[in-house]
Structure 1
Amino acid sequence: MKIIFIHGINQQNFDAQSFEHHWSDVFNIGLEKNNLDITSKDINLEFPFYGDILTTRKMKNAVHLNTMNPNWAFFEKLPKLKERNKEKIQKALEIPLLPHYDESQKYSLKRKFFLLSQLAKDHVLKEMVILLNHFPNLHESLVQKFISEAYLYWYDTTFKKEIHARIISCFEKGEKHIVVAHSLGTVIAYNVLHELSKDYPIERFITLASPLPFNVVQRHIVSPIQRPEALHGDWYNFYSRDDYLTTFPMTAPRFNLSPKVENHLITTFADKPHEIIGYLQHPHVIRSIFEQTNYLKQNLKNTVNF
């Protein structure tokens, strides 16, 4: 069994090795907190990395997810709160625990005020994205201006082929696979799976924070949405109530599939609602992966209830 993890945009601060370490760390937190392990020699993890392809073209995305966060610049004027750039980068890579696991996050007064500000921001951005969904031409022009990685993937055939080649190289004919994809990686994974035959059986397709339901994305994939031939098992889709980039579940009539996509609304981080750190450690996501591997521990103890 192979579990293949496919990332989205804005991974240029990683290389292939550091990316694998970061995602593995997030995944391992979820395993540990749910009393699961992955010691079997019959399970292989694959982390294909393509973030450097954009860098080789001397391009970058103009917008990062934290661009949307409120900027409390006046706090930075206080000497005690100043940080060096290296410290900021290190802090950004630290992996916080979801509130499911960390009782200390429930909640100081300071933390409550912070979360209220983040939730208000999420609500405003979600309303804006819902509005944009009705104007796909405007939506696409914004993608072109600010998210060059997605725009190149839609329109540059060579760029798209390079990405697909790296991911497809992880699949083995006759081997069983679970595909776990995040953000733009769900669009890429959907297209890649349509390039694979039944000789590459996909036991489960798991999409996290997927933009597939957006009208602007629907323009650039095979329509109507179809189950890939290689997908033998279920399609599970996880989206967060706080994530303004995954506003819509995958439901009929756009996703009129049989069997239907299993949509699961979860909670991630109010201040980082779209990032992989909130999705890949979530107990629902962890269990959706491991109930397919048949390597769940027997007689689980102290398992998180959800």
Structure 2
Amino acid sequence: MKVIFIHGINQQNLDAHRFKQHWKNVFSLGLNKNNLTLESAQTTLEFPFYGDILTEYNLKNAINLDTMRPHWHFLDRLKHLHQHKTPNTSLRILPHYQYNTKMTLREKLFQFSQITKDRALKEMVILLNHFPNLHESLVEKFIAEAYLYWYQATFKQAIHQRIKTCFEPGQKHIVVAHSLGTVIAYNLLHELSSEYHVERFITLASPLPFNVVQKHIQQPMSRPRVLQGDWYNFYSKDDYLTTFPMSPPLFDFEPQIHNRLITTFVDKPHEIIGYLQHPSIIRCIFEHTSALKANQHVF
């Protein structure tokens, strides 16, 4: 079994090694917190990196996700109080794993400020969804790789080719894609021939339901033929970039997508650190394999 992880935007500040290490660390944290062990002899992890392709075009994104968030300076100073770390890593731990932990008043104020920001941004994104042309103009200005992916065929194919090298004919695959990576994965799976087999497709923080994205996808939406198993879609209620589930009539095919509403970090609701360590996603990735320890715990 191969598990292929496909990243989204704002990765070009990393290189292939650092990207792989970061995602492996987040994933390992989730495994550890769920008392799971990965048997490398049975499962191979692949982390194709395409952030450098954007650099080759001498472009970079003009936006950082944090810059989209209005700053309440006093409350933002409380941010470090809300960050929990493991003894052996600098990665933050999801609240799901923090048993019997009581928040201080300042931590509660910080969390309230972040939730307020998320809701305001979510309302703005919902409004933009009704004006896809305006939405696209913002994408063109701030998210270079998304705009290039839509309009530059050589850029799109370079990304697809980079990721496709991780697939093997006749091998079983699980595809885990995040953010813009879910759009890329959807298109790529439709390009793969029948000699490829995908046992499960897992989308995290996907913008696929947005009208601005739908403009650039062949209609109607359809289930990739190489997908032999289920499609699970995880989206956070705090994530303003993944406001909508994937449901009919837009995603009108059988079997239907399993939408799962989860919670991540209220101050970083869209980032992979909140998704890839989540217990429900950890379970979804590996429930088809025999690599789970006998003392596994279901959340």
TM score, norm. by length of structure 1: 0.91
Find the residue that maps to 2:150 and give its secondary structure.
helix
Pairs within 5 Å for 1:1-306: 1-71=1-71, 94-103=90-99, 106-300=102-296, 303=297, 306=299
Write the letter of the residue equivalent to 1:42: Q
For the 8 Å contact 1:202–1:230, the answer to whether it is kept is yes
Write the letter of the residue equivalent to 2:246: M
For the 8 Å contact 1:36–1:297, the answer to whether it is kept is yes
Query: In structure 1, how many angstroms separate the alpha carbons of the residues matched to 2:73 and 2:52?
Result: 31
Query: In structure 1, how many angstroms separate the alpha carbons of the residues matched to 2:214 and 2:258?
Result: 19
Find the residue that maps to 1:231 and give its secondary structure.
coil
Identity over aligned pairs, percent: 66
Query: In structure 1, how many angstroms separate the alpha carbons of the residues matched to 2:103 and 2:74?
Result: 24
TM score, norm. by length of structure 2: 0.93
Q: Relative to structure 2, which stretch is displaced further, 66-75 or 104-113?
A: 66-75
Write the letter of the residue equivalent to 1:142: L
Deviation at 1:105, TM superposition (A): 5.5
- CA RMSD of the aligned region, Å? 1.8
Deviation at 1:104, TM superposition (A): 7.0
Give the equivalent residue in structure 1 for 2:86.
none
Instruction: Label 1:117 to 1:75 Cα distance change in 2 as closer, same or farther (>3 A).
Output: closer
Instruction: Label 1:106 to 1:155 Cα distance change in 2 as closer, same or farther (>3 A).
Output: farther
In structure 1, runs of 5+ residues without a counterpart are: 82-92
Find the residue that maps to 2:95 and give its secondary structure.
coil
Q: Relative to structure 2, which stretch is displaced further, 191-200 or 266-275?
A: 191-200
Write the letter of the residue equivalent to 2:206: S
Query: In structure 1, how many angstroms separate the alpha carbons of the residues matched to 2:75 and 2:232?
Result: 42
Moved over 4 A (4+): 72-77
Find the residue that maps to 2:130 and give its secondary structure.
coil
For the 8 Å contact 1:37–1:297, the answer to whether it is kept is yes
Kindly tell me the number of residue pairs found equivalent between the two proteins.
289
Instruction: Label 1:63 to 1:42 Cα distance change in 2 as closer, same or farther (>3 A).
Output: same
Query: In structure 2, how many angstroms separate the alpha carbons of the residues matched to 1:106 and 1:211?
Result: 34
